[in-house]
Structure 1
Amino acid sequence: MIFRSSVLLVAALLAGPASAAGTNADVVRNLASRVGPIVGAASACQAIDQGRVQAIVDKFREVIREASAGASDRDELTRVFNGFVADGRNRVGASQTDCTTAGRQLAELERSLGQAAPSTSSSGFGGVIGSTPAAAATAPTATLPPTLASNVQGVTANEIRFGICGPFSGASRELGRQMKLGIDAAFNRTNDAGGVAGRSLRLFAADDGYEPSRTLEAMRQLYEKDKVFGFIGNVGTPTAAVGMPYALQHRALFYGAFTGANLLRNDPPDRYVFNYRASYAEETNEVVHYLLKLRRLQPRDIAVFAQQDAYGDAGFAGVSKAFRSLGLPDSAIVRFNYKRNTVDVDEAVNQLRAMKNPPKAIVMVATYRAAAKFIEKTRDQYPSMVYTNVSFVGSTELSDELMLLGPRYASGVIVTQVVPAVGGYSSAVLEYKSALEKYFPGEAPSYVSFEGYVAANVLIQALKRVGPQLDTEALIDTLENTRDVDLGLGAKLGFGRAEHQASHKIWGTALDERGKYQAIELE
């Protein structure tokens, strides 16, 4: 296999001239030992823009693909790289490397990569550091099959580009990282099997920090700079309120967003917007019925703890709708708020403590850190309180936060899910875990990454049905005629012209004293 000029140049910049004497794989292993710890340390630092880190990781994975003679080489090099990334992350956790040092090393790496000449190659690290004029002149030029030629943005003879806009920094960064992880696992699995009509699937990430004021810039970066074909897995409701109109304006696919808000579920549906997951209204409706029918609570016993934005509003509206559907007044529902991207829950806690007749259950529409902080500050005073959460909370991350506080904080906390339990043994779960272990060894299964994996696989099936002549309108038509997709979830998925939500299924789970989710019946 011809070793691409981009790999040789990066080796020269970072590994030194001596390392280039080895095999292609040897060069990449040496390079991984230098790049991996830097990006690993940077990924553990909240103050560092995770979009910068992810850009280097994505490019390095391209280098691995180019340097690999086959799947076994690629898997081995990926494991090596992931191991060095984990080492760098652990050093920060063990205080052996501080975030100031990590930021400086990342900046030095970026400066080194930015010193090279502009590139004519879009693969590997070439998109970041370029190739020398001499190398570009001597590099082989592939003749592409005319059947795969395309003038559609984000679709070339070799790849289909998608973008994800989400929090890769800030308090909710783990939601963005996990969503991307699941999509990447599905894409990598498909690419190893030959791709879609011979094209590889590639995911670009842009960080908006879960702040809608940054979302438009991130969307523009993906669509206008990275030239993506469409968007998949965007994270958040307030950010979707900005990102979705941008996608619609450009008639670009806005697919599988990590939100259950009704703003993505218009009637009739927006042509370019497709959802995998059940809505927040469906999740909170199930929870209200569960609390009233199975836990035998009275309506006055239920209150809401919600983020003070469109996400919290969507969840609260679902609780109100559930009350009305049961013929109950919704005007007396108490709502406690907190500010997005903070763990400042003191005002909500004080409002709860001031109530003469406090509720017996809290329906939480929050992210994992704020939810954990609220439980921490109220559990001892209200030991029998029932805490429920919608799936966006980040189930795995919530469990981790609560178990750090102690088993009594985690035990009994309920989360509704839009995918089956990741601790189960269904076909879908086993396939997902296998892909995660192969492409991201050391990463624990997560409900968020599992959702990303499932949503991506539904889209992949539609892409395969379209075939070589891919464009947005053909894909939309195909999605609207996708029926009865069986991924082993226990529920079939599909869309229609009047139905742009693939699944309405909701699973109930509750944490035990070990921080593990156990299935519970919601009805």
Structure 2
Amino acid sequence: MRRPVPRHLRAALPVAVAAALLVSACGGGGKSQDVAEAAPVGDTLSNPQDSTDSTAALVKAVADYLDAQAEKRGKGSPEDAATKALAEAVAKAQADDPLPAAPVAAGKAPVKQSKQQVESLRAANSYEGATSAKANARIAAQKNGVTDVGVTQDAIKMGTVTMHGMALGNVLATPLVNGVKATFASINDRGGVLGRRLSLVDCDDGPGEVSRSKACIKKLVQQDKVFAFLGYSSWASASVHSDLSTYRIPAIGTWAYSQTEWQDSYMFPTHMSMIHEAMANAHWVKNVIKPKTYGLVCLASPEMQLACQQVQKILDESGANLVRKLDVAISETSMSAQILSMRAANPDHIVHYVINPATMVKFMVEAAQQGYYPSKGISGNHLAAEVLGSLFGQHPVGRYWTNTTYKLWGPEFMATMNKYARGNKGLNHHIVQSSYVGALVFEKAAKAVGPNLTRERLMAQLGNGDVYAADATLDQRFSWAPSERYGQNWNNEYGQGREYMYKYTSTNTVSNPDGTPSGFEPDPDQFVIYTNK
């Protein structure tokens, strides 16, 4: 992992933290579910000894605002005491210690930041200052290292929820959990997080049922006493936002099945959202395939329907004509009828957004049995997996493409899996990569927070605008600043703005020994694909 971007690039902090909280609160609304024995809350973010009075007041206001997020807000209005206090603290901090000016035009001298300004920003948002580090260590020592739920002097207990009961769960869900445990083991072998060893408690919510997923969260928080979630790979991920808010517990490295994961201040996805994936794929189809007609295969879920709407919007504007749209269930027993329907429509190209690999495996197998394939091939998401060749077979070779958040596969990632998760050999896929990156992001952010590790401090660090980069071979970056969560012009260098397109070229899709892909090749026409172009 690379270090977060330098502090001089954070031109509007700590106001950015306040803005992020304001936006997320306005979007959430409503009252969270009442849950007995909610997990206790750690220390607030402020430490008056670390900075000026105005900065300390601002940081305390941010912490108070976090406290108020889980409480009912009158008719959704942000005009409550916490919001007013936060606004006043922002104004006071700006008046007492003005923030650096916005970047100036090229050729003009930048406005120089004072030492006091820089230290104030660092103390408030990155916990990197020397004074702050000493204070953090002192607080942690006073508590014997028990700084929050699930955190002791020598351990951090994390939780995850996985749908082991999904179709192909043994080759998709199990490797996910193995991948997180493997990454934790690698972190522990290099000293853990400031001496604290990571452990993981997994909870199975079956086929991704919402009620079972919520029960998992309750168990992990109340019974297992986990500090935070690492990954959340379940169809229910779009339905647990209120649970995270109620328990005030962050989830790092979620799989972004739902766009709402990017809009939840308690979630920190390490994967492009499905709607953005659909946009990027559609632009690639428009730019490279240039079909006159096209078909859609879409999962009958709200998230995938929204994704397919974006595909249709982009391709229709390019002049292509949608001739058939198939809405399919997660548990389709056969795709023969759907294939016959698509054959009758005879599209040049088919785009699929079903996220469930089992459905498209059935489509490919039965298409081969019928001797059918569209003239300009098929493309879609979530099928970058080492096991793909053994499932798809020869029929789609050379005429199938899948988009993925990370480059495949990467020597560091594969070395970690080969050493600590040998059972994953031949079963790694791009969501394992996502969880791997999520674990490394947590390691980096928790170290930046320091010994006084609390949920609130971790969330403030992750949301302060820093950019967290995967290693160079995976070539992906993430920031959970408001512009990436809520904006319309996502940064083309970050994980919400760009992905990669791979062509399926061989049934041997198990990674090469050096970590390079086999059976997947970068698309020769447009390898890097973008959400907005």
TM-score by length of 1: 0.63
Q: Among residues 440, 450, 468, which one is paired with 2:433 in the alignment?
A: 450
- 1:159-178 aligned within 5 A: 159-173=155-169, 174-178=171-175
Partner SS for 2:484:
coil
Matched, 1:431 2:420: no
| Partner of residue 517, structure 1 | 520
Matched, 1:363 2:331: no
1:176 and 1:498 mapped to 2: Cα distance?
A: 31
Post-superposition CA distance 1:369-391 (Å, at most 9, x none) = 21111112224123635121212
Equivalent position amino acid for 1:349 in 2: I
Partner SS for 1:164:
strand
Equivalent position amino acid for 2:164 in 1: F
Q: CA deviation at 1:465?
A: 0.6
Matched, 1:479 2:458: no
Q: Among residues 422, 425, 442, which one is paired with 1:441 in the alignment?
A: 422
CA contact (8 A) 1:364 1:390 kept: yes
Aligned length: 361
Partner SS for 1:508:
strand
Q: Report which of the two has the higher share of helix.
A: 1
Change over 3 Å in CA distance of 1:359–1:295 after alignment to 2: closer
Matched, 1:149 2:136: no
| Partner of residue 389, structure 2 | 399
Q: CA deviation at 1:508?
A: 0.7
- 1:265-276 aligned within 5 A: 265-266=262-263, 270-276=264-270
2:463 and 2:360 mapped to 1: Cα distance?
A: 37
Post-superposition CA distance 1:78-100 (Å, at most 9, x none) = xxxxxxxxxxxxxxxxxxxxxxx
- Tell which deviates more after alignment, 474-483 or 169-178: 169-178
| Partner of residue 506, structure 1 | 499
Q: Among residues 384, 388, 406, which one is paired with 2:379 in the alignment?
A: 388
CA contact (8 A) 2:504 2:521 kept: yes
| Partner of residue 214, structure 2 | 216
Q: CA deviation at 1:484?
A: 3.6
- 1:33-48 aligned within 5 A: none
Q: CA deviation at 1:459?
A: 1.9
Bigger relative contact order, structure 1 or 2 (CA pairs below 8 A, ≥6 apart): 2
CA contact (8 A) 2:350 2:374 kept: no
Q: Among residues 201, 205, 209, which one is paired with 1:204 in the alignment?
A: 201
Change over 3 Å in CA distance of 1:354–1:184 after alignment to 2: same
Change over 3 Å in CA distance of 1:314–1:172 after alignment to 2: farther
Post-superposition CA distance 1:106-149 (Å, at most 9, x none) = xxxxxxxxxxxxxxxxxxxxxxxxxxxxxxxxxxxxxx965543
Q: CA deviation at 1:277?
A: 1.5
Q: CA deviation at 1:169?
A: 2.8
CA contact (8 A) 1:162 1:232 kept: yes
Equivalent position amino acid for 2:302 in 1: A
Identity %: 20
| Partner of residue 139, structure 1 | none
| Partner of residue 81, structure 2 | none
Alpha-carbon RMSD: 2.6
Equivalent position amino acid for 2:458 in 1: L
Equivalent position amino acid for 1:398 in 2: L
| Partner of residue 349, structure 1 | 339
2:290 and 2:484 mapped to 1: Cα distance?
A: 34
Post-superposition CA distance 1:271-325 (Å, at most 9, x none) = 2121121122222222222222212212xx222112222342243133134347x
Q: Among residues 235, 238, 251, which one is paired with 2:248 in the alignment?
A: 251
Change over 3 Å in CA distance of 1:318–1:289 after alignment to 2: same
Q: CA deviation at 1:417?
A: 0.6
Change over 3 Å in CA distance of 1:286–1:472 after alignment to 2: same
| Partner of residue 337, structure 1 | 327
| Partner of residue 362, structure 2 | 373
**Unmatched 5+ residue regions in structure 2?**
1-139, 509-518
| Partner of residue 463, structure 1 | 446
CA contact (8 A) 1:408 1:513 kept: no
Q: CA deviation at 1:200?
A: 1.0
Q: Among residues 280, 287, 293, which one is paired with 1:286 in the alignment?
A: 280
Q: CA deviation at 1:477?
A: 0.9
CA contact (8 A) 1:281 1:321 kept: no
TM-score by length of 2: 0.62
Q: CA deviation at 1:245?
A: 2.5
**Unmatched 5+ residue regions in structure 1?**
1-143, 423-428
Q: CA deviation at 1:448?
A: 2.6
- 1:227-246 aligned within 5 A: 227-236=225-234, 238-246=235-243
Post-superposition CA distance 1:211-268 (Å, at most 9, x none) = 32421122222222211112221113x31122232112211102221134212233xx
Equivalent position amino acid for 2:281 in 1: V
Q: CA deviation at 1:157?
A: 2.0
Equivalent position amino acid for 1:262 in 2: Q
1:289 and 1:190 mapped to 2: Cα distance?
A: 38
Change over 3 Å in CA distance of 1:259–1:362 after alignment to 2: same
1:321 and 1:458 mapped to 2: Cα distance?
A: 34
Equivalent position amino acid for 2:478 in 1: L
Q: CA deviation at 1:492?
A: 3.7
2:401 and 2:340 mapped to 1: Cα distance?
A: 23
